[in-house]
Chain A
C-alpha cells in the first residue's frame, strides 16, 4: 500500500526518467540535445524563482489581508481587474513563476477571477514579451493581439470564476497551502459569519473587516495563549485555527 502510494505520487518523475532512459539507449544524440535544451530552462528557473519566492514570502508578511482583499478581492471589481493586469503585465518569467505569488494572494483574499487574470496576463501579455513581438511581427500585429487577448482574458476569467469557487481550491489543497505558508493562526473565511466575538475577546489580535474577522499582524512570541484559546473556544463556527508548534 505504501509503495503503491509512493508510486502514485511520483508517477510524473518516473515517466520522465523512463523517457530519458529509452532516449539514451536508442537515440543518444537526442538525449544529449534534450539535456542541453533543458539547461536553458534551468537558467531561466534560477534567474527568476528565488526572487519570486522571497518576494512572495515578504509580501505575505508585510501586506495585510484587507489590503489584498480591498484591491484584488471580489468587491474590488474594475480596480481589482486593473491591478491584476498590471501585476501580470509587468512581471517576468514563465507562468509557473506566478504560481507561488498567486496562491499567496488567493489565500489573502484575492478573487478567483483576479487570480486567473494575473496568471493569464503573466503568461501572454507581459511587457517584456511585447517588445520582442514588435520586433518580429510588427506593431500592428502586437497591438491587435494585445487588445484581443485582454478582452478574451476579461471574458474567460469571468466564466472561470463562475465555474470554480474558492472552496474548491481550499478543499482540494488546504494541506498544501498550510504547509507552504505555515500560518500559526488562521481564520477560515468561508466559515466565519462575522459575529465579531473574537475581536471582543482578543482585540489586539483580531479585527473585523467587511463583516469578516481577520488576524492582525502579530509576533508569535507576544501571543497571549489564554486569550487566544478563549477566542477559539468562543467562535461559534469554529473558524479559528491555531497550529501549535
Chain B
C-alpha cells in the first residue's frame, strides 16, 4: 500500500470512531449503506478485474513497446491510445513501460497518449461507470478523455 492509501485508511478510521461516539445508530446505518454499496459493485468489479487479467495475459504490456517502435507516428499514437483505453495498468508498471516507450519511439507522443488513456479512459470499467452515471455521461466522458489524451500528447511532442 502506498502512503496515500494508508492515509485514507487512517483518516477514515478516525472519522469512523468520532462518528460512532457522536451518533451510534446513524454510524451503524452508514456502515450498512457502505456494505450495501459494496455488494452492489462487487460482482461487476470482480468480472472487470478478471477481464483485465485476461487482456494483459493475451497482450502483455511489453508488446506495445515493440508495436510503437515499428510504426509511423500517426499509427503508433492512435494505436497506443487505443491500447491504453482497453485496460488499466497500475502506475508502477505503467511508468517504467512508458519510459521504455519513450526510448523505443522516435517521438514521445505515442507514449503520452498511452499514459493518459490508460488511466482516464476505460473500456473494461465502462459497464460499471454506465451503471453508476448512465450511458450519456459515460460515453461523453470517455470520448472527451480520449480526444484530449491525443491533444495532450501532441502538445507534449511540440514542447519537449
Contact = CB atoms under 8 A, between A and B. Distances in A.
A124 B120 contact: yes
B21 interface: no
B30 A60 contact: yes
Interface string A85-112: 0000011111110011001001000001
Interface of A is mostly: helix
B74 interface: no
A132 B92 CA distance: 7
Given A128-B4, A137-B95, A38 B53 contact: yes
Interface stretch (B64-72, B75-83, B150-158): B150-158
B15 A58 contact: yes
Contacts of A62: 19
Contacts of A190: none
B93 to A, nearest CB: 9
Interface string B102-122: 100000100010011001101
A127 B4 contact: yes
B19 to A, nearest CB: 6
A171 B108 CA distance: 42
A179 B50 CA distance: 26
Interface string B41-84: 10111111111111011100000000000000000000000000
Interface residues of A, number: 86
A177 B56 CA distance: 33
B99 to A, nearest CB: 4
A40 B92 CA distance: 12
Contacts of B26: 61, 219
Contacts of B129: 96, 99
Nearest to A217: B26
Given A51-B8, A91-B4, A182-B36, A136 B96 contact: yes
A172 B131 CA distance: 9
B38 A168 contact: no
A40 B61 CA distance: 15
B137 to A, nearest CB: 5
B134 A169 contact: yes
Contact of A137 (B30, B33, B45, B98): B98
A144 B5 contact: no
A67 interface: no
A15 B124 CA distance: 12
21 contacts: A38-B49, A48-B5, A48-B8, A49-B38, A53-B34, A53-B37, A54-B12, A55-B12, A92-B5, A96-B125, A96-B128, A106-B133, A119-B141, A128-B4, A128-B91, A132-B91, A132-B95, A148-B152, A156-B148, A172-B133, A182-B36
Interface of B: 1-5, 7-9, 11-12, 15-16, 19, 25-27, 29-31, 33-38, 40-41, 43-54, 56-58, 88, 90-92, 95-96, 98-99, 102, 108, 112, 115-116, 119-120, 122, 125, 127-129, 131-137, 140-141, 144-145, 147-148, 151-152, 155-156, 159-160
> Closest 9 CB pairs between A and B?
A172-B134, A38-B53, A37-B53, A34-B57, A57-B30, A92-B4, A136-B95, A57-B34, A53-B34
Interface of A: 12-13, 16, 19-20, 23, 30-31, 33-42, 44-45, 47-58, 60-62, 90-96, 99-100, 103, 106, 112, 116, 119-120, 123-124, 126-129, 132-133, 135-137, 140-141, 144-145, 148-149, 152-153, 155-156, 159-160, 163-164, 168-169, 171-173, 176, 179-182, 219
